[in-house]
Structure 1
């Protein structure tokens, strides 16, 4: 006998999150892959079913938006020395977020 129950199956496939972390890590070359990753991430916000993957997508969104805000603050500063300090802090913070999130994703843990 064939059972036709319609249960919602939650599949935590981390391949999209890995792709988005890879796009985020390409920010020193061009900022465009990071923006593409943000748009993909925003498109997947409602269709993500697993708690682990949704926590990584949220982590990535907050990382990219925070990096853009800190970059905007650095751009608005008129002193070059102060602007370069803000940029350096923003880059270090963003790299930390990428590494921490990607390592947690590899371990199968939520952020």
Structure 2
């Protein structure tokens, strides 16, 4: 009777996070007329086969909320007519969005959920 050695650990299935890396790459190209962000948002929304409780699922949710959260900054910046009021709003939104991209991408690279 052969016994399995006690030091053998169960094999964990590795999740493919390349989609998350690709979408973070598109999001980081937001200075290019915002088109890459819209493309990444659309690609994010059509992902139906990703488990929402997985690491990739948490990052897809993080990306969606980052893009949706950027919209109020840009809307407020648009409606604040003097440039000295609208420019800080745009800069605050871009800084916040950049932080979200950076934090999410680093977490995904480390294999951590956000």
* TM-score, length of structure 1 as denominator length: 0.86
Aligned residues between the structures? 101
Cα offsets for 1:53-80 (capped at 9, x unmatched): 1100000000011112211111111121
What is aligned with 2:68?
Answer: 65
Task: Provide the C-alpha distance between the structure 1 equivalents of 2:87 and 2:29, rounded to a whole number of angstroms.
Answer: 20
Q: Does residue 109 of the first structure (1) align with residue 94 of the second (2)?
A: no
Task: Provide the C-alpha distance between the structure 1 equivalents of 2:76 and 2:86, rounded to a whole number of angstroms.
Answer: 8
Give the C-alpha shift of residue 11 in structure 1: 5.7
> 5+ unaligned residues in a row in structure 2: which ranges?
1-12
The higher radius of gyration belongs to 2
Task: Provide the C-alpha distance between the structure 2 equivalents of 1:30 and 1:11, rounded to a whole number of angstroms.
Answer: 35
Q: What is the Cα-based RMSD across aligned positions, in Å?
A: 1.3
* TM-score, length of structure 2 as denominator length: 0.84
Runs of 4 or more, structure 1, over 4 Å off, are: none
